[in-house]
Chain A
Amino acid sequence: MMNLSRSVALISLFLLPLLSFSFSVDNPTDRRVLVLLDDLSLKSSHSIFFNTLKSRGFDLDFKLADDSKLALQRYGQYLYDGLIIFAPSTERLGGSLDSKSIADFVDSGRDLILSADTSASDLIRGIATECGVDFDEDSTAMVIDHTSFSVSDVDGDHTLIAADDLVKSDVILGKTKIEAPVLFRGVAHSLNPTNNLVLKVLSASPSAYSANPSSKLSSPPQLTGSAISLVSVMQARNNARVVISGSLQLFSDRLIRSGVQKAGSPNQYEKSGNEQFVTELSKWVFHERGHLKAGSLVHHRVGETDEPAIYRIKDDLEFSVEIYEWSGKSWEPYVANDVQVQFYMMSPYVLKTLSTDKKGLFHTSFKVPDVYGVFQFKVEYEKLGYSTLSLSKQIPVRPYRHNEYERFIPTAYPYYGACFTTMAGFFVFSFVYLYHK
């Protein structure tokens, strides 16, 4: 007895620090991030990126990708909230990590930044395919663009691309427009067309193609043009976010500090858009932006405040829901004009756009349709870059009780009149018949 309680106390004491340093429902930004590198010199060659993360309060844990003591979980609890894999050439991850454990990591709602590069291993490709992104099968291929390359390209084979085809989303890339093109040098990937959770954040220009830069092309390249994605994101149904990049150099200090001039364009920028791009993307992927939370759905009849257990057809009701957005530090009221509610039974009978009071409360009122059954109030909100909201509340609707109908139906007045006229006629007739002369 004593031993058991003592061991429980010891274990809980040990687990307590682990429990307090992770993301929670009230504070969805990730805290502890595991960074897997295949070469520890990446710590210094990508120091600007890592320092921006550290300055925002992330706890980075640098490990070699084949470190045999790697573990994502201990005693069933995840040790990290986010994972950055900057190990494109690692064939096998150390410790208890493999592609399945990384898939489980994302399945648990945790976030991932995955970067491939030239000579990406099968492991990295496998993890990317799990997320709906297919890298070019040719392992020697890189993205080449003869019209959109950076003028500062030293090698002259046009593999250093200045890309500016960014997705138009303030949530993913921040409110400030990224003016300078983003420098990229790496492999191409395409999105699985059947997957509707992936999204291209940085696409290649229509003149790009994926091929080996040092050998002559023998057949037309498979991946060409805007179908090539340079950086993609995926938001899973449990709101875990994954960023997949085809270039590790995108995050490097060298490209961040370098100036950029796109070939054929007169604009010369002193600093490439890389730093702003990777910073804003990391804010999005680690849930500092675009994370929504909804309160419970509230509904009641007009004029009442309590939620009834059942509605009657043709009742007037009011519906409201509170939605908040995480700003990185606190919950701010969410402001949008496209949140909709459905009054749903097999198909939506009523679909209304909610109006907001700009303080997070979304409300509307409508009339219950002339159909009885068991309905649901459904709010299904899937906006690009925001976490999905899927709320529902069931409510039955009954028809009129037999004494709730109107007493005298106006359209039936002629029939009422006819009956009474007939009765009067019968009365008069009997008098006339009896007393006529």
Chain B
Amino acid sequence: MARSSTSKDAQDLFHSLRSAYLATPKNLKIIDLYVCFAVITALIQVAYMALVGSFPFNSFLSGVLSCIGTAVLAVCLRIQVNKENKEFKDLAPERAFADFVLCNLVLHLVIINFLG
């Protein structure tokens, strides 16, 4: 009895999450996709380092940091652009996007320098 209720609960949870997510605006979904791509790239690099060893450690850090950095900046963009977020109601989405682009430029400049 309890098991079937927990599995039914899990299924219900999953369905409600999925339907709620499908209702989000398209631009937020694009941002989410970008974040997933960045994090997957970072995970691939960590797996590679675990296999081969950390020999050019600076290169490893640079690679991982570029992925994680850009993911973090994308998350910040999402927070600022999300209309349901009361805190950033007065912030223009263009301003948020401009910040995002500028920060990414600085990030990638630093990354290329640290890559060796």
Cβ-defined partner of A419 (8 Å) among B30, B52, B66, B104? B66
Kindly state whether residue B21 has any CB partner on chain A within 8 Å. Answer: no
Distance between Cα atoms of A418 and B116 in the complex (Å): 14
Cβ-defined partner of B41 (8 Å) among A421, A430, A433? A421
Q: B82 CB to closest chain A CB, in angstroms?
A: 14
What residues on B are CB-neighbors of A432 within 8 Å?
30
What residues on A are CB-neighbors of B59 within 8 Å?
409, 412, 415-416
Kindly state whether residue A349 has any CB partner on chain B within 8 Å. Answer: no
Contact A412 B116 (CB under 8 A): yes
**Given A418-B63, A436-B27, also A429-B34 (CB < 8 A):** yes
What residues on A are CB-neighbors of B56 within 8 Å?
409, 411-412, 415
Contact A426 B63 (CB under 8 A): no
Nearest A-chain residue to B47, judged by Cβ: A414
Contact B67 A433 (CB under 8 A): no
Distance between Cα atoms of A387 and B97 in the complex (Å): 85
Q: A401 CB to closest chain B CB, in angstroms?
A: 15
Interface class of chain B by DSSP: helix
Distance between Cα atoms of A425 and B41 in the complex (Å): 11
Distance between Cα atoms of A422 and B60 in the complex (Å): 14
What residues on B are CB-neighbors of A433 within 8 Å?
27, 30-31, 97
What residues on B are CB-neighbors of A415 within 8 Å?
45, 56, 59-60, 62-63, 115
Q: Which of A411, A414, A422 counts the most B-chain CB atoms under 10 A from its CB?
A: A422
Kindly state whether residue B72 has any CB partner on chain A within 8 Å. Answer: no
Nearest A-chain residue to B41, judged by Cβ: A418
B14-59 CB contacts (< 8 Å) to partner A: 26-27, 30-31, 34, 37-38, 41-42, 44-45, 48, 52, 55-56, 59
What residues on B are CB-neighbors of A426 within 8 Å?
34, 70, 104, 108
Distance between Cα atoms of A411 and B62 in the complex (Å): 14
Contact A425 B115 (CB under 8 A): no
In the complex, how many residues of chain A place their beta carbon closer than 8 angstroms to a beta carbon of chain B? 19
What residues on A are CB-neighbors of B112 within 8 Å?
419
Nearest B-chain residue to A429, judged by Cβ: B34
Kindly state whether residue B79 has any CB partner on chain A within 8 Å. Answer: no
**Given A426-B70, A429-B30, A433-B30, also A414-B48 (CB < 8 A):** yes
Contact A436 B55 (CB under 8 A): no
What residues on B are CB-neighbors of A416 within 8 Å?
59, 63, 115
**Given A423-B108, A425-B37, A425-B38, also A414-B31 (CB < 8 A):** no
Kindly state whether residue B75 has any CB partner on chain A within 8 Å. Answer: no
**Given A409-B56, A412-B59, A426-B104, also A419-B115 (CB < 8 A):** yes
What residues on A are CB-neighbors of B52 within 8 Å?
411
Q: Which of A416, A430, A433, A434 counts the most B-chain CB atoms under 10 A from its CB?
A: A433
**Given A415-B56, A415-B59, A415-B62, also A422-B41 (CB < 8 A):** yes
B78-116 CB contacts (< 8 Å) to partner A: 97, 101, 104, 108, 111-112, 115-116
Contact B34 A419 (CB under 8 A): no
Q: A432 CB to closest chain B CB, in angstroms?
A: 6
Cβ-defined partner of B101 (8 Å) among A422, A423, A430, A436? A430
What residues on A are CB-neighbors of B34 within 8 Å?
425-426, 429
A379-437 CB contacts (< 8 Å) to partner B: 409, 411-412, 414-416, 418-419, 421-423, 425-426, 429-430, 432-434, 436
Q: A422 CB to closest chain B CB, in angstroms?
A: 5
Instruction: Write the residues of chain A forming the contact surface with B, with a CB cutoff of 8 angstroms.
Output: 409, 411-412, 414-416, 418-419, 421-423, 425-426, 429-430, 432-434, 436
What are 24 pairs between A and B in contact, CB < 8 Å?
A: A409-B56, A409-B59, A411-B56, A412-B56, A412-B115, A412-B116, A415-B59, A415-B63, A416-B63, A416-B115, A418-B42, A418-B44, A419-B63, A419-B66, A419-B115, A422-B41, A422-B66, A425-B70, A426-B108, A429-B30, A429-B34, A430-B97, A433-B31, A436-B30
A411-B56, A415-B60, A422-B38 given; name 11 further pairs at CB < 8 Å.
A409-B55, A409-B56, A409-B59, A411-B52, A412-B55, A416-B59, A419-B62, A419-B66, A425-B38, A430-B97, A436-B30
